[in-house]
Structure 1
């Protein structure tokens, strides 16, 4: 919505009333009028109670008080009739400019003002009288016609004494900036207590604004206000009110009504149809429901309709075209459906059309091109299809065009270049294709262009930017656009935001970018850059907040940045080399640092502990060495830490226990030693991902690890861990229920983890929230598999392979009904396979090979689809069943299937052999061929052979040790 136009419509009644009142008040600053001494003294006392940092009241000296700033006197008798001390701030300055707030008047309103008995106009708005109530004595100004205390900091209860102001025409107490509903910067709240009956006494009232004041849905506001026949403007936004079910009203002269942001749950109020003079209607952010045609069929005088964020349904009625005075139409964020009626093209006076966030479908009608007065067109977040009509170029006054998040296809029409007043063009998330027309270069007023997430291609050259000297935001992300300009090109614009991820910007780093010295955001991920970062890059980093150059082939050293306020740096998957420089420790505000998948070497500097706001540190897949710096313990805001696949050594520093917000701790594939610290369990209570695989950790699994009830992925594989699986493992309640998304403030970082699951190495990103896993494989863990492990019902991966586990597989294995991958191979397990295993309907990978299992293999439809039985059950000579072609009634194939009692081969067994042998030969040759042609299979096969060999060595050593203990 175009704020400028809306402010004009809302403030118009204010100016209208203000002018009327000002014309009726005969004031003067002439030196011919003598100031009443008693009134002058009252003003002096009032000033003494104020703090005036900007010296706005510097003229309040001498005896001529009628010439003082903000003071007006009646030219007949010299009485003070006007006191206008409104702050000179604009609405926007009031919220975003802390420096200009010095112009606020502060302090207390002295009761000395009571001596201004003839006061007709009082404006204390846009000041800061925090900590005091609205003075009750304001109700004593019996001649008062104008009272404005908006944005003035008063709090408490609205005094009912204001009901004594029988001549009052204008009353404004609103607290909130209407359009964003932004609260005041200080703690302010006003409320109505008991009732509003006193309001009915203000019979002359024309303008009433209580926006942001809590009235409450238990208070009857309607009937008192309904007694005000002269009322022209009624603003009750964000007042927590309900509507009364009444059919007849007295304020039929009303021309502006604002009941927005109240959450009113109602059908369209019948009494609205009686407001024949209504010009501005704002009911947004409520729960009005029903068909849209029921709301606006009778309001023919409307020039502004705002009904966004309700539950209006049905198609947009063609009858809207009858509202010939309509300038603003905002029906966004409802449940409107169907096509956009062609008749809207007849609204020749329309300036703002916002139909965004509905369920509108079908193509955009060409007739909209007839809206020659339109300034804002927002059809975003619908289900519109088809192409952008060429007639769009007829909207010569258009300043903002929002068509994003639809299903629009085809190319951009050349007529887009006719919209020379266009400030913003947003077309992101559609299905647009083809090249961007060169006519785009004619849009000299354009400051924002966003065509991201489409299927655009072709070349962008200098001619596309020929007249775009005001361009500030350029987003081309996730297209196939090639950026082709000369190396010496100097653009007319200076960008604040440049995003071109997945476009072709390279191979050189964009040299033209060096003129954008105020750039805030650079996203050039996967943009084909094969260069080092130039020296001039440091000169454009003063204001840089976000930098993403990931997935390129950028080499050299890490760039230096001169802005300590940088928030996010992503340089992953490049060719950066050398040591991690200490100058990155100057980025004191950084929240995301991703240097993963590069060629960094040397030690991680200790000064990284200075980055106290850091939430994500990812430096995995480099060749960093040395100890893990204990200074990491100072990063108290850290939520994700990735140091895996480096060469860190030594023990984990105890200081890491201070990382109490840590959610992901990925330290796998390093050279770390020592015991697994017990503080991981009782100090890092929010930890959900713990990866310590492929290190040199030893000792037992600490029982305190079980205290971490948020843990959902625990990987201790490939270490030297001994002892038994602790019985307390059932306390890992994070593995009983599914966890929520991984969301960090440092967006757009996507949490990720690698794990060996289903026999292959997998990387989890978007699906990480669904990964619930335990991997204790390739250790020296002994004892039985705890039965309580079967309580972790959310597990989808359980890997205990290549250990020294004994005993039987728990019969309750079927309780793990979400299990997708199960690996118990290369242990000392014995006994039968539980029948409940056959009930695991999601199981897609199973490995029980090389144990001492016996008996019949359970029959189940899922178990019969898991692949090669030899890979699953091999090395268990006592297992039998049809899937192994081994009868469970005889001990071996030669004794039970080949000869009869006389040593002769039975016919049925003979044919069985005839069937088996060729199948074995074909299968074996196919297996050998697969190993020859498929590299991944070949690597897995030989890795398995190596693991079997390692297991045999460990088993022999353990067996010899046991024998030695028995002998000695």
Structure 2
């Protein structure tokens, strides 16, 4: 997981002009797709760090974490004065300069230097007073009529910035008295529990340059909120994202002509007004996760300073305007998860600084313009999956070094073969071309040297050894996804030694792989997911699988495996999904299972359609998290598992049919159904009785 950059690093300055800040610093947060969020500071690490964030591929199993992005809510206050009195706000410091008289903050009294007293630089006077949550303390400070317009007020985090942490749990409404801080230049209350409307008095902060209120419970209409903000003609950074604001962006947004970054994500609806084209200084525009409808306004092409456009996960319709090619400073465009149609404009190839292009999950058709791959020499992340694109993958790229890190072309109608230039992309982490019409062989030269994740699509090949040998050259390989690609032949007996020991995900489902599961698989000690289901595998389940102590999901269903389930499978203490259904397994279900430090945490147990005998093991009663239990179509001979079922409080799906289950106590089914009543999430239960009640 990427680490957040330093929250702030104020540089000393000799500038005599006073600087006044109220800031609550913000760490990195999750988001729907990886794009940078611009901080108010000119921090090179923060602005470029997003390029190094691992872009995780789409997950075919239990969903993985979503991509991270840096936060917009940051500021870089200038250090213009020394602290002579300190009031402690929980874990941070509230610093005032030339504090005069008695101040009551949060019900605690502090005494600073009296008027006229002098102190040497760096001396500490006054006392520390604990201040409770809430903005009331700020209001009480203001009521003391301190001349804050002449001094430096900061709530920031860390020893150098005297910051108030963003997770301080500040609650309540922003007090209207905030409007009296007429020299305030930055206000940041993001990532707290601030509620209520934005007070009209905020409009009095006419010197405000940065306003961060994101990730709170602020409510109101966009019309009322923006009407309060219109007097702030110096405002450069505005973030009101992830609140409870409703309504469309008002036409008056165009009056905030000094805006450089705007984030209204997860709040708004309606269409984008053409007046947004008046924000000619805008560099960062975030509107994702909304209900914005209509087309992309041509007025956006006026914003020639734009570096980032993030409008994913909306309801945008129409075509992508060719006029976006006017945005010559653009670095990232994300229009994914909308309802856009038509083709990808070839004119986007003129955006030579673009490094990210996200158009996934739309209704785009026609071909991928080859000029984009040729001319956009900085392009590193291309995500156009889940559209209706046809034709071939562009056959050529710029003659300069390949910059691609992510190529997502999945779920389209692309034909032909994989271009050979991919072999030169040594930094490539994700190649996802599944669910297309590609017709190619396993091209080991393309795979060799690649890192992290591989998604592959190819034609039948009966010799898999070269493919896995090529994979062994990928020194950072962690995941192989080759589902439903027609792969045939046997898994190499040296599979475990070929696939590096940091491999954690191997998915070869829905192929035509035959032969046994190699015992050498035990060498893949970091494996958490092994999915070989829906192939033609035979032989027994190797006991060496029991040595994969990190294994969380083992899926071997729909094969021709024989023999018994290894009793040692219970040693995999992290195993949550065991799917061995529809094979030819015999013997009993293992009678014992080891308990991890977190207890039994099975989620799915699929053993249906085998030749298993005996009874249901009693340890199942301890699996309170079990959601799915399928043991139908076996040879189990047991009483209805009343005591077992009563412990499965999370059970959602149960199938005991086509076995030899019988009721206890003269065919009295009442105890069994009473046990089922404890399964409050149960949606489907099936079973047949060997002896029906009279």
- Could you say whether these structures have the same fold, taking a TM-score greater than 0.5 normalized by the shorter chain as the test? yes
Asked if 1 retains the 8 angstrom alpha-carbon contact of 2:108 and 2:130, the reply is: no
Q: 1:383: Cα distance to partner?
A: 1.5
Q: How far, CA to CA, are the matches of 2:440 and 2:323 in structure 1? A: 41
Deviations 1:192-239 (A, max 9, x none): xxxxxxxxxxxxxx96599xxxxx9999x99xx99x9799xxxxxxxx
Q: How far, CA to CA, are the matches of 1:530 and 1:579 in structure 2? A: 20
User: Which residue of structure 2 aligns with residue 284 of structure 1?
Assistant: 156
Aligned with residue 429 of structure 2, among 550, 554, 567: 567
Aligned with residue 175 of structure 2, among 297, 317, 322: 317
Aligned pair in 2 of structure 1 residues 180, 721: CA closer, same or farther (>3 Å)? Answer: farther
Aligned with residue 476 of structure 1, among 319, 325, 335: 335
Aligned with residue 304 of structure 2, among 444, 468, 473: 444
Q: 1:508: Cα distance to partner?
A: 0.6
1:583 aligns with 2:445: yes
1:532 aligns with 2:392: yes
Aligned pair in 2 of structure 1 residues 249, 483: CA closer, same or farther (>3 Å)? Answer: farther
User: Which residue of structure 1 aligns with residue 612 of structure 2?
Assistant: 781
Asked if 2 retains the 8 angstrom alpha-carbon contact of 1:480 and 1:503, the reply is: yes
1:344 aligns with 2:202: yes
Q: How far, CA to CA, are the matches of 1:485 and 1:714 in structure 2? A: 43
| Structure 1 residues 373-452: aligned runs within 5 Å | 373-406=234-267, 408-452=268-312
User: Which residue of structure 2 aligns with residue 678 of structure 1?
Assistant: 543
Moved more, 374-383 or 823-832: 823-832
Aligned with residue 593 of structure 1, among 447, 454, 460: 454
Asked if 2 retains the 8 angstrom alpha-carbon contact of 1:246 and 1:271, the reply is: no
User: Which residue of structure 1 aligns with residue 623 of structure 2?
Assistant: 792
Larger proportion of helix: 1
Asked if 1 retains the 8 angstrom alpha-carbon contact of 2:324 and 2:348, the reply is: no
Aligned with residue 360 of structure 1, among 218, 226, 251: 218
SS at match of 2:390: coil
Deviations 1:689-739 (A, max 9, x none): 1111222222222111121122222222222222222322x4366996447
1:510 aligns with 2:364: no
Q: 1:639: Cα distance to partner?
A: 1.9
Q: How far, CA to CA, are the matches of 1:789 and 1:305 in structure 2? A: 51
SS at match of 2:153: strand
In the alignment, structure 2 segments of 5+ residues that lack a partner are 18-40, 49-72, 101-105
Q: How far, CA to CA, are the matches of 1:380 and 1:601 in structure 2? A: 51
1:551 aligns with 2:551: no
TM norm structure 2: 0.75
SS at match of 1:806: strand
Higher Rg of the two aligned structures? 1
User: Which residue of structure 1 aligns with residue 359 of structure 2?
Assistant: 500
Q: 1:417: Cα distance to partner?
A: 0.8
Q: How far, CA to CA, are the matches of 1:493 and 1:477 in structure 2? A: 20
Q: 1:667: Cα distance to partner?
A: 1.0
User: Which residue of structure 2 aligns with residue 696 of structure 1?
Assistant: 560
> Higher RCO, 1 or 2 (CA under 8 Å, sep at least 6)?
2
Asked if 1 retains the 8 angstrom alpha-carbon contact of 2:184 and 2:208, the reply is: yes
Q: 1:282: Cα distance to partner?
A: 1.7
Asked if 2 retains the 8 angstrom alpha-carbon contact of 1:281 and 1:306, the reply is: no
1:247 aligns with 2:111: yes
| Structure 1 residues 746-895: aligned runs within 5 Å | 772-815=603-646, 816-829=648-661, 832=664, 835-839=670-674, 840-841=676-677, 842=679, 843-849=682-688, 853-854=690-691, 879-880=692-693, 888=694
Q: 1:792: Cα distance to partner?
A: 3.4
Aligned pair in 2 of structure 1 residues 807, 479: CA closer, same or farther (>3 Å)? Answer: closer
SS at match of 1:474: strand
Q: 1:486: Cα distance to partner?
A: 5.8
In the alignment, structure 1 segments of 5+ residues that lack a partner are 18-89, 98-177, 182-205, 211-215, 232-241, 287-303, 740-771, 855-878, 881-887, 889-968
SS at match of 2:211: strand
Q: How far, CA to CA, are the matches of 1:209 and 1:587 in structure 2? A: 55
Moved more, 613-622 or 780-789: 780-789
Asked if 1 retains the 8 angstrom alpha-carbon contact of 2:601 and 2:626, the reply is: no
Aligned pair in 2 of structure 1 residues 399, 459: CA closer, same or farther (>3 Å)? Answer: same
Q: 1:308: Cα distance to partner?
A: 5.2
Deviations 1:750-783 (A, max 9, x none): xxxxxxxxxxxxxxxxxxxxxx222223323233
Q: 1:11: Cα distance to partner?
A: 4.3
SS at match of 1:699: strand
Q: 1:478: Cα distance to partner?
A: 1.0
Q: 1:441: Cα distance to partner?
A: 0.9
SS at match of 2:446: helix
SS at match of 1:623: coil
Moved more, 310-319 or 715-724: 310-319
Q: How far, CA to CA, are the matches of 1:573 and 1:583 in structure 2? A: 22
Deviations 1:563-613 (A, max 9, x none): 21122222222222322211233343x2222337x7564444122122232
Q: 1:491: Cα distance to partner?
A: 2.3
Asked if 2 retains the 8 angstrom alpha-carbon contact of 1:735 and 1:795, the reply is: no
Q: How far, CA to CA, are the matches of 1:697 and 1:248 in structure 2? A: 80
SS at match of 1:554: strand
Moved more, 714-723 or 836-845: 836-845
TM norm structure 1: 0.55
Q: How far, CA to CA, are the matches of 1:484 and 1:624 in structure 2? A: 33
SS at match of 1:415: helix
Q: 1:329: Cα distance to partner?
A: 2.1
Aligned residues: 596
User: Which residue of structure 1 aligns with residue 531 of structure 2?
Assistant: 666
Q: 1:314: Cα distance to partner?
A: 3.0
Aligned pair in 2 of structure 1 residues 826, 354: CA closer, same or farther (>3 Å)? Answer: closer
Q: 1:631: Cα distance to partner?
A: 3.8
Q: How far, CA to CA, are the matches of 2:566 and 2:201 in structure 1? A: 73
Aligned pair in 2 of structure 1 residues 463, 374: CA closer, same or farther (>3 Å)? Answer: same
Q: 1:688: Cα distance to partner?
A: 1.9
SS at match of 1:329: strand
User: Which residue of structure 1 aligns with residue 31 of structure 2?
Assistant: none
